[in-house]
A = this chain, B = another copy of it.
């Protein structure tokens, strides 16, 4: 098993281009926007434990702790790179409150203290362990940012309590978390505080999961939270997508830690099942709002797509782990697909509002009263909101953008991998690497490596890239161009041809049959009615369409245009008529990055176009 090490956030700076811009918005706008909405909705106040049924305060939800935990984690990443007293103070304030309201036995959960104190660890869907997992991730980020271990110490006490209840006394009403997360969090904690008890608890939850004696006997319910089979026997992605990918991330950590080949095999199969059969071209997974879940292979309707922002984030997290233990460029390709499409479509360009669901098609008519064909189904909303009742996605986007540096590089004693092309610099083991690029605006990447002579530099060649040049000799290794680092100050240029291209789906994807989408490099494109004053469903693109493109400051990306074929409506004489009598005319079709849809008011939107 491979065991590449990632370069940790503290040693990576995003310095230029697309992600520098995104991190700035995240740091200057989004972190405060999420905070303010969480203040408005009582999520921060809930940490006062002052709720009573009588006093008019909003009743804490049983997973509010996790919303704030992700915000804390995001804020910690931000202060790690850019010290900020205001954010730091807020973090400290919340940690104080957690400390203050922690039970003597270590337990901490707002809902199960102020609302249902008698039902601790009695309801598997009440997310106590999930909330703990997110608090652990926040505590680790806080530790990395500040060097202070007090948040970890608080949670260490809670973890001891969990070990007592679940492992020793077995007094809980369920064996394993209903919503996975704690497994990967325990492994994350183990990285900064290598106490074996954390690994043992993660392993316990992983190994107990799906054991017949722990199952509910309800196949749907068991699939929903991945309890239908023991984890090493899971080879098909099922159920709630976020739960699934948090679990798979923990499984990858477990595989790495123990060199567990059977677990790795399960992870590989689960990854491939998603990547090859159950993923939108945007990277979105979970095509159904029923259970926020995977359905059957190739079932990827565009208009009702659930494709939760958190699910894309979770899959990026899983893929980012896999890239280091099973070297293959497909994993970093997956991260790339998510970060340029399905994840950042979840946040508006101004950084203030969010999508929980990310449809690949919006037709406003469908939202009209009396379009009752859809009334029994559920269409995603058409404009981002500042906060949701279940507001898991906003602080999740915030934390992954703040932490994006950890997705760029990894290394071992002999090799340095560049997985993502972002203007950045990093240091590790006495070496330094610096990347200059406008990617994904163009495919030129200049890489400078210092003090790594005789190691090898491995540059991912993305699956979308059909032609590239490298200013040094290389050979291909599992999707990476492998280059000998010939000097102490080594410079190399990678030039990937990046042109708009029509992309087809596997023919089994019925929703996309006879259609194509447009990508340019890793960026998926869409057309919005606001730019195209005609019926987007009527527009067809020729297989041989020529595209033009130009950079747009508004989108921080290229915008494209091509010729589309429309029905000449003057030739349409009836609802149904001979095809040969229907005349066509042409129009210019403007395409913007999919991640930027719904930033200019409500509009019809389309990704897949019928081809001619």
Q: Please count how many residues in chain A sit with their CB below 8 Å of the partner chain's CB atoms.
A: 69
How close is A312's CB to chain B, nearest CB, in angstroms?
15
Binds B, one of A6-14, A180-188, A382-390, A501-509: A501-509
For A503, the chain B residues whose CB sits under 8 A away are 576-579
Within the complex, the shortest CB–CB distance from A237 to chain B, in Å, comes to 12
CB pair B279 A578 closer than 8 Å: no
Most buried by B among A296, A515, A575, A576: A576
**Among A23-31, A134-142, A372-380, A474-482, the stretch in contact with B:** A372-380
Report the separation of the CA atoms of residues A540 and B299 in the bound assembly, to the nearest whole angstrom.
Answer: 20
CB distance from A585 to the nearest CB of B (A): 11
A370 contact from B223, B275, B576, B578, Cβ within 8 A = B223
Tell me which residues across on chain B come within 8 A of A365, comparing CB atoms.
296, 299
A301 at interface, CB cutoff 8 A: yes
Note all chain B residues with C-beta closer than 8 A to A578. 466, 501-504
Is the Cβ of B363 less than 8 Å from the Cβ of A510? yes
Given the known inter-chain contacts A363-B510, A514-B540, please indicate yes or no for A575 contacting B277, CB distance below 8 A: yes
Copies in the complex: 2
Q: Which residues of B sit under 8 angstroms from A370, Cβ to Cβ?
A: 220, 223, 238, 293-296
Q: Scan residues 482-508 of chain A and give those whose CB is less than 8 A from a CB of chain B.
A: 501-508
Which residues of B lie under 8 Å from residue A101 when comparing CB positions? Answer: none
C-alpha gap A276/B575 in the complex (Å): 5
Q: Across the interface, name the chain B residue whose C-beta is closest to A294.
A: B370
* Cβ of A145 to closest chain B Cβ, rounded Å: 38
Residues of B within 8 A of A377 (CB): 373-374, 376-377
Please, which residues of chain B bring their CB within 8 A of the CB of A372?
A: 288, 290-291, 293, 295
Our pick among B238, B293, B543, B567 for the contact of A579 (Cβ within 8 Å) is: B543
CA distance A566 to B611 in the complex (A): 14
Which among B376, B378, B508 is the interface contact of A535 at CB below 8 angstroms? B508
Q: How far is the CA of A539 from the CA of B540 in the complex (A)?
A: 18
Return the chain B residue nearest A277 by Cβ: B575
CA distance A583 to B447 in the complex (A): 38
Nearest CB in chain B: distance from A170 CB, A:
32
Contact mask for chain A residues 234-251; partner B; CB cutoff 8 A; 1 contact, 0 none: 000010000000000000
0/1 interface trace, chain A 275-304, chain B, CB 8 Å (1 if under):
111010100000111110111100101001
B223 touching A577, Cβ below 8 Å: no
Which B residues are CB-close (under 8 A) to A173? none
- Find chain B residues with CB under 8 A from A501 CB: 578-580
A505-541 interface code vs B (CB 8 A; 1 in, 0 out): 1111110011111000000000000000001011010
Contact between chains at A574 and B516 (CB < 8 Å): no
Most buried by B among A502, A514, A538: A514
Give the distance in Å from the alpha carbon of A289 to the alpha carbon of B370 in the complex: 11
Interface core residue of A238, A299, A543 (most chain B CB under 10 Å): A299
Residues of B within 8 A of A368 (CB): 296
Contact of A574 among B294, B506, B572 (CB under 8 A): B506
A582 cross-chain contacts in B, Cβ below 8 A:
504, 507
Judge whether A610 is part of the interface by a CB distance below 8 angstroms. Answer: yes
Query: Are the C-beta atoms of A579 and B504 separated by less than 8 Å?
Result: yes
A192 at interface (Cβ–Cβ under 8 A)? no
Is A463 in contact with chain B by the CB < 8 A criterion? yes
Q: For the complex, is A89 an interface residue (Cβ under 8 Å from B)?
A: no
Q: Quick check: is A371 within 8 A (CB to CB) of the other chain? A: yes
Please state if A611 and B579 are interface contacts (CB–CB under 8 Å).
Answer: yes
Residue pairs across A and B with Cβ atoms less than 8 A apart, 16 shown, are: A220-B369, A277-B575, A288-B373, A291-B372, A295-B370, A295-B371, A295-B373, A296-B365, A296-B370, A299-B365, A376-B378, A507-B537, A507-B572, A507-B582, A514-B540, A579-B611
Closest A-B pairs by Cβ, 8 of them: A514-B610, A290-B372, A507-B567, A507-B538, A288-B372, A502-B579, A510-B537, A504-B579
